[in-house]
């Protein structure tokens, strides 16, 4: 659940203010979404609470749903970073599995459920979430190709990226339907095991 708001070595006034405003908008959005629901929360509400004009909201986010989407926008890069640190002598699918498990262990399960719940209330948001998974899939595929550049591996690596992101997606789905009985990483590990046994 990382947005692009965290660190900043040597940042000037401008960068600091931007970061702060971004954080204020995000917090205002999440709070109001949880309070009155996604659809019932207008951009006027969010802007007022964040202390900015409605017009200026669009200088920070392209659309209302980006507030929620930004919460998981960092995941793609995090997985890629973790993947780069895996040994090369592993089979690709196992390397990705280990990387994904490391990254997902960071996110608190209850927070994931809350955000997921929120996204399910609006079909467009839900759809964009799936689309962002597809983007992460593409990012992951690029990283896999860097690590295993042999051309005859390309199709296989594309499938690996697809399966890995699919495993994550189905794990969040199970998490939602189980309501938190099993830990996220356990479900995820089970999915990867099923993948290996299947194909």
Partner DNA sequence: CAAGAATCTCGCACTCAGTGTAAGATGCAG
Partner DNA sequence: CTGCATCTTACACTGAGTGCGAGATTCTTG
Can you give the binding site for DNA, defined by CB under 7 A?
Answer: 12-15, 17-18, 21, 41-44, 51-53, 55-56, 58-60, 62-65
Stretch that binds a copy of itself, among 8-16, 22-30, 37-45, 190-198 (CB under 8 A): 190-198
145 belongs to the binding site for a copy of itself (CB under 8 A): no
Please check whether residue 163 is in contact with residue 195, taking contact to mean a CB–CB distance below 8 angstroms. Answer: yes
Instruction: Report, in Å, the least distance between residue 133 CB and a copy of itself.
Output: 8
89: DSSP letter: T
Contacted entry of DNA, a copy of itself, none for residue 59, CB cut-off 5 to 8 Å set by kind: DNA
Please check whether residue 167 is in contact with residue 188, taking contact to mean a CB–CB distance below 8 angstroms. Answer: yes
Instruction: Report, in Å, the least distance between residue 181 CB and a copy of itself.
Output: 15
Q: CA geometry: angle at 131 spanning 5 and 178, to 5°?
A: 85
16 belongs to the binding site for a copy of itself (CB under 8 A): no
Instruction: Report, in Å, the least distance between residue 123 CB and DNA.
Output: 10
Instruction: Report, in Å, the least distance between residue 131 CB and a copy of itself.
Output: 4
155 belongs to the binding site for a copy of itself (CB under 8 A): yes
List the end-to-end C-alpha distance of the chain, in Å, as a whole number. Answer: 31
Contacted entry of DNA, a copy of itself, none for residue 155, CB cut-off 5 to 8 Å set by kind: a copy of itself
For helices 123-147 and 75-84, what crossing angle results, to 10°?
A: 20
95: nearest Cα among 86, 104, 108, 103: 86
User: Burial letters for 124-161: b for 16+ Cβ neighbours within 10 Å, e otherwise?
Assistant: ebbebbeebbeebbebbbebbbebeeeeeeeeebbebb
Stretch that binds a copy of itself, among 35-43, 47-55, 72-80, 186-194 (CB under 8 A): 186-194
Q: Which 89-128 positions form the footprint of a copy of itself (CB under 8 A)?
A: 92-93, 123-124, 126-128
Please check whether residue 119 is in contact with residue 126, taking contact to mean a CB–CB distance below 8 angstroms. Answer: yes
């Amino acid at each position: 659940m990382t947005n692009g708001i965290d660190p900043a070595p040597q940042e000037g006034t401008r960068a600091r203010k931007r970061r702060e405003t971004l954080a204020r908008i995000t917090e205002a959005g999440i709070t109001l979404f949880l309070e009155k629901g996604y659809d019932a929360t207008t951009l006027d509400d969010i802007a007022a609470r964040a202390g900015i004009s409605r017009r200026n909201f669009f200088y920070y986010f392209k659309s209302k749903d980006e507030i929620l989407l930004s919460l998981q926008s960092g995941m793609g890069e995090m997985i890629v970073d973790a993947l780069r640190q895996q040994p090369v002598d592993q089979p690709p699918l196992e390397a990705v599995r280990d990387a994904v498990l490391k990254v997902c262990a960071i996110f608190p399960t209850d927070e994931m459920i809350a955000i997921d719940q929120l996204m399910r209330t609006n079909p467009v948001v839900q759809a964009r979430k799936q689309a962002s998974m597809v983007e992460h899939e593409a990012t992951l595929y690029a990283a896999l190709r860097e690590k295993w550049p042999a051309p005859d591996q390309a199709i296989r690596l594309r499938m690996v990226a697809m399966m890995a992101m699919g495993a994550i997606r189905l794990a969040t789905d199970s998490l939602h339907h189980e309501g938190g009985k099993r830990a996220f990483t356990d479900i995820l590990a089970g999915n990867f095991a099923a993948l290996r046994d299947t194909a």
